[in-house]
Amino acid sequence: MPLEAGSVAAIAWSFWEQLNNGHVDEALDLLDDDGVYWVALAGPRVDRTMAAMRKLFHRISERFPMQMTLLDAIETGDRVALEVESYVELPTGLYNNRYVFIMTVRGGKIVEVHEYLDTNHADAVLIPALKG
């Protein structure tokens, strides 16, 4: 899906694209250190710092390089909704999940991410692989 160069959608998608290409540090450089990353999980909302997410993305990328495919992008102002599909074969099975990332970009940096996904699939396949 072509995105306009320099757009909020292009900056947000470039984070996932850099991870796809194994450029973890370049991807993480797009995250604002003061930003917040939130994943829709059962229970109370927990905001994670971008520093904590950096560690998690390094761990996942080193152990299980996942391929992300952009399906759709809807941009408004400094926010974008990305519909994305993941694919990776893990020791625990095929992890093929769908996500919606609501991302806010300011000054060329990602300052906020809300991640929505099939948590049952992640709990059944991805989490055991990360623990194993």
Residue pLDDT, tens place only, 2-30: 788 889 999 999 999 999 999 999 999 99
On whether the CB atoms of residues 107 and 118 are closer than 8 A, the answer is: no
**Mean pLDDT value of segment 35-61:** 84
Q: How confident is the model at residue 48 (pLDDT cuts 50, 70, 90)?
A: confident
> Does residue 25 lie within any of the structural domains?
yes
> Does residue 1 lie within any of the structural domains?
no
Total Cβ atoms within 10 A of residue 30:
19
CA gap 47, 54 in Å, rounded: 14
The candidate with the shortest Cα–Cα distance to 11, out of 90, 103, 124, is 103
Instruction: Tell me the pLDDT tens digit for each residue of 64-111.
Output: 889 999 999 999 999 999 999 999 999 999 999 999 999 999 999 999
How many domains is the chain built from?
1
Q: Which residues does 44 contact at the CB level (< 8 Å), separation at least 6?
A: none
> Does residue 26 lie within any of the structural domains?
yes
CATH number (domain holding residue 37): 3.10.450.50
**Predicted structure pTM score:** 0.91
**Range of the structural domain that residue 19 is part of:** 6-129
